[in-house]
Amino acid sequence: MSALLSPETPAYAVPEGNLVPVSDHLGKMMAIPASRMFLINKSLKVFQEQQPGVPIFDASQGDGGASLPGVPEALLDRAFELQKQHGTAYDMPFGTDAYRKIVAESYWKLAPDTGWGPANVIGTQGGRDGLVKAYQAMLALGHGRQGDVVVVSRVPWISYNWGPYGIGANVMWAPGRAEEGWAYTEEGLRACVTEAAKTGRKVAGLVITSPDNPTGQTLTLERQIALARVALESGMAYVLFDWMYHAVGDGEPHDVNVLLRAFEPELRKRIMVLDGITKSLGGSNIRNCHLLADAEVVKTIVAQASHTVIPSFFSLAVAMAAYEKGLAVAAAPIIEPCRASRAWLRGYLKEQGLTHIIGQGYYAFIKVADTLAAKGWADTEPMGQYLAENHGVAIVPGAFFSPYGGEWLRFSYATPQARTQGAAERLIEALNSLKK
């Protein structure tokens, strides 16, 4: 070890060879806009003031804690008991050993032959925290560079655009066709690698979301595996499977053991899975999710998390209480209304002759190009505020997600069937009136 500098001399905390290079790119980046999805339903107040007593419908947000019963009180009580037993001291950056164990063994039922278990689990303070930690790992462990690429769908959840960008990754929208729900293709994924190389970049990661937000597009597990294999074999460093909505679908949730067994050990090291209770349990404000990843990836994330965000124990405890009970039972007050609403809405949209996507999850994506043309609007951005203020129904304009969603709107059916029916009928009535 070299001699220490005099304490009177400024000293860097890391050796010179490990210093972050100087770059002026921060001053050249676009300003990251605040998400407007949290504000769109505020316009309903204008309608209420103008037409007091007339029902309003919020089909904008996928928040089962607001539009559905949310986390049952019995689970919150159980979580509070766990909190009292546990105390209020610091936990580990991954959460607790008990949380890891119940996620791995009771929730996922990780099979021994996969080589994955509790050590592959990281508790996070909600989905955004889990995603940022995943992006950071992709950049650091993928090609070891900032400025590389995270690939997302052509019409992604709005925070997929800005979450990676904020920590030094460039986001690329993969090729996709509207008539196919902007689903990934093998050719499109390979094209992303080629396009990134044109500017000296590599692909640090691909995000596969199923069921999708905002479109509801849903891929079979076999299809997800096929796409991930092509991505990894074409040079993408990691694939993240965002399965936040998979438990609220009509069928069985995805089986992570099938996913893990589909990849030989070397490729298995390069996949991650995000899941949690924010959607399935209506626990948006509980802020609990988890990442599954290779043990070495987990070690890197945990080391970084020890200096940044450590999940709160109460958030872990709510998930533990749900997993103790069995998520399908615990989340029935969310899952069952969503299934009923989805079944009704699927038939209604077909009956109305609207071009739409309605797979699983919380959302339908509806094309409204003819209404835009009648109003002379370039895209659906002004439609959100207009529908809320003048017709008492809040939706999210597809233009918020990307320009390719400009002729579409996102309709949330994470409400009881009667509310979904009222919102959909009000929406159709409003769209028809705009064409006159």
pLDDT in tens, 323-369: 999 999 999 999 999 999 999 999 999 999 999 999 999 999 999 99
- Residue 61 confidence class, pLDDT cut points 50, 70, 90: confident
First to last CA, the chain: 80
User: What are the angstrom distances between the C-alpha of 392 and each of 47, 81, 283, 363, 424?
Assistant: 6, 42, 26, 19, 11
116 in the Ramachandran plot: left (φ > 0), alpha (ψ -120 to 50) or beta?
beta
Q: Is the pLDDT of residue 172 over 80?
A: yes
Please give the CATH superfamily to which domain 40-70+331-434 belongs. Answer: Aspartate Aminotransferase, domain 1 (3.90.1150.10)
Query: Would you state the pLDDT for residue 1?
Result: 44
CB 63 within 8 A of CB 400: no
Query: How many residues would you count in the chain?
Result: 436
Say how many C-beta atoms besides its own lie within 10 A of residue 141's C-beta.
19
Residues of the chain with CATH 3.40.640.10: 73-327
Residue carrying structure tokens 């959302």: 363
Say how many C-beta atoms besides its own lie within 10 A of residue 106's C-beta.
15
CATH number of 73-327: 3.40.640.10
pLDDT in tens, 254-306: 999 999 999 999 999 999 999 999 999 999 999 999 999 999 999 999 999 99
Tell the burial category of 120 from Cβ atoms under 10 Å away from its Cβ (0-12, 13-18, 19+).
Answer: buried
pLDDT in tens, 65-103: 999 999 999 999 999 999 999 999 999 999 999 999 999
CB 175 within 8 A of CB 196: no
What angle, 0 to 180 degrees and rounded to 10, lies between the N-to-C axes of helices 158-166 and 127-142?
50
Q: Is the pLDDT of residue 397 over 70?
A: yes
Per the prediction, the chain carries an average pLDDT of 95
Beta strands 289-292 and 121-124 are antiparallel
CB 142 within 8 A of CB 119: no
Q: Is the pLDDT of residue 6 over 90?
A: no
Q: Kindly report the CA angle at 48 between 45 and 53, in degrees rounded to 5? A: 150
Residues of the chain with CATH 3.90.1150.10: 40-70+331-434
Query: Would you state the pLDDT for residue 7?
Result: 87
pLDDT in tens, 362-375: 999 999 999 999 99
Q: Is the pLDDT of residue 2 over 70?
A: no
CB 59 within 8 A of CB 415: yes
Average pLDDT over residues 241-258: 97
Residue 91 C-beta-side C-alpha neighbours within 13 Å: 25
Query: Would you state the pLDDT for residue 299?
Result: 97
What angle, 0 to 180 degrees and rounded to 10, lies between the N-to-C axes of helices 127-142 and 295-305?
110
